[in-house]
Chains A and B, each alone.
Chain A
Amino acid sequence: MSLTIQDVKRIAHLARIEVTETEAQATLSKLTGILGLIEEMQAVDTTGITPMSHSQDVTQRLRSDVITATNQREAFQKIAPAVEGGLYLVPKVIE
């Protein structure tokens, strides 16, 4: 599976990272190298092997439904780029 410049632009858009034309070219060659390294996996026969998402075979622990959080808006919004009236401000959301 060889990567194209269009692929780089498509994934950069999905990842919301701006890339210039020159960056895209440079990225393409680096990513191609990394994908070459990854490609080694394809030779392995993995038929019937259960994927491993976690190293321990344990199940989810549940939290009891009790309110533990307090209002920390002021502290949290002190580090926000733009707020008004308790809301985080962003350029207009178009639906």
Chain B
Amino acid sequence: MINQSLKQLAAALATKQISSVELTQLFLDRIKRLNPELNAYITLDEAKTLAQAKLADARIANGEATSVTGIPFAQKDIFCAKGWRTTCGSKMLETFIAPYDAHVITQFDNAGAVNLGKTNMDEFAMGSSNETSYFGKVKNPWDKERVPGGSSGGSAAAMAARLCAAATGTDTGGSIRQPASLCGFTGLKPTYGVVSRYGMIAFASSLDQAGPMAKSAEDCAVMMNVMAGFDERDSTSLQRENEDYSRDLNKPLAGLKIGLPKEYFAEGLSAEVAVVVQEAIAQYRKLGAETVDISLPNTRLSIPVYYVIAPAEASSNLSRYDGVRYGHRAAEYTDLLDMYCKSRAEGFGAEVKRRILIGTYVLSAGYYDAYYLKAQQIRRLIAQDFEAAFNQCDVIMGPSAPGTAFKIGEKADDPVSMYLQDIYTIAVNLAGLPGMSIPAGFANKLPVGLQIIGNYFDEARMLNVAHQYQQATDWHTKMPEGI
């Protein structure tokens, strides 16, 4: 049951092979058994979860089921869910019970899905290893001495260990794709503006985007049908007609033009990962695709640009955590200023503080033009690189991450080397394009992801490209041993 696709699960529920309560209990039992070691979930609430499952069963019995009714999903702890503790991986929000639902949560609730619990994450989504969470490190089910990637590390570990049918994540600089690569599953970051950010705790507003983390492209398409769509509460939510993301899954790939950016296969990419990615591309040629060499000349600049823009926006977004209306307030302080400084010093972890300080610095008087404005200008150059590339190809492919999962602690004290983890994913966020990572094989017994980058709003085609590969290969069905 735990390996079944969302479609198969919906069918099993519809034909009463299993009830939602039973299915949910199955996952809750697995969580009880495996989570203490993996630490994929921050908050569980069996009573709430099972109550939702019961409602789903009634809904199925009434013949009002949607494609996800009764299916248990893990929700990244960045989404506010009414009545659920919503921590964003931070001590600052350790006791924060969200008084409202994020749009994504509402969409799943309205469709009758079951919320299994809130998954662990890097604090305020700042990290690539899930080591910055206040609620402890998450272990990669493929090798428990290694990180699951980040920031959606809890959802990633839950996926790899089958502690949920599927999960949600958010991706500001690679936080869905890099963990998908490191934990061996399929993850999609949609075009910026396709999934509402309402109720999703902000890290870097112009880059943040929620997306599905699932066992296959087909499952991602099912989830996209639930998550995507216009929401008037988010000014950056795009007004577009609803689309069926599954519609093109079965189209053949003959004639597909795949762009291979030379910068994605240059120095910095591990040799073993390069081999796996090349094999995947060879498989695409077998499926009838053509490849074309392209260039994204400003790729290396995406890291400095990102580490100006994201911290700048974050420094401002995180100013609301001041201990006045909710969240952590220091126990002792002398006056208002002291209350602010102590509450924030205590409530935020080291990496979050670092990024707030960097962001404050690059926006401060005398530095704005040299840093923030310059970064926004280069951001346009990066977007223009992609625009030019899509004149030559339909999709772009390359690695999702420069290597496989690294050891816990290996990069924890070296922010710069940690930041380089995102070299292949960040540019996509800066341009606002959709990107996904699909399992493409293994290097040293660790999963390797293939990244697929599409043009704006090309999610359905990307899912088609991924699905055809998954029809021809079985990498996406592999599971860690002993799970």
Contacts and interface: CB of A to CB of B under 8 A. Distances in A.
Direct contact of A and B (CB under 8 A): yes
Interface in A17-65: 17-19, 27, 30-31, 33-42, 44, 46, 49-56, 58, 60-61, 63
A41 B304 contact: yes
Contacts of B324: 80-81, 88, 90
Contacts of A78: 97, 99
Nearest to B367: A1
B2 interface: no
Contact of A52 (B193, B371, B376): B376
B267 interface: no
Contacts of A88: 324-325
Interface residues of B, number: 70
A31 B354 contact: yes
Interface string A64-95: 00000000100110111110000010111110
A51 B376 contact: yes
B84 to A, nearest CB: 12
A16 B348 contact: no
A55 B300 contact: no
A61 B239 contact: yes
Interface stretch (B138-146, B217-225, B337-345, B392-400): B337-345
Contacts of A76: 99, 325-326
Contacts of B377: 46, 49-52
Interface string B410-431: 0000011001000000000011
A17 B192 contact: no
Contact of A31 (B192, B348, B361, B430): B361
B244 interface: no
A27 B350 CA distance: 9
A95 to B, nearest CB: 12
B379 A51 contact: yes
A38 B416 contact: no
B4 interface: no
Given A42-B370, A61-B235, A72 B344 contact: no
B34 interface: no
A90 to B, nearest CB: 6
B303 interface: yes
Contact of A91 (B193, B336, B360, B374): B336
B95 interface: yes
B236 interface: yes
Contacts of A92: 335-336
Contacts of A81: 323-324, 326-327, 329
A39 B85 CA distance: 40
Contact of A38 (B304, B333, B348, B456): B304
A40 B362 CA distance: 14
A80 B99 CA distance: 12
B374 A42 contact: yes
Given A12-B357, A30-B354, 14 more contacts: A8-B357, A15-B357, A16-B341, A18-B338, A18-B345, A19-B345, A31-B358, A34-B307, A41-B301, A41-B304, A51-B373, A53-B376, A55-B431, A90-B339
Interface of B: 95-97, 99, 192-193, 206, 232, 235-236, 238-239, 300-301, 303-305, 307-308, 315, 319, 322-327, 329, 333, 335-342, 344-345, 348, 353-354, 356-358, 360-362, 364, 367, 370-371, 373-381, 383, 415-416, 419, 430-433, 456
6 contacts: A1-B370, A11-B357, A16-B319, A34-B415, A41-B305, A56-B456
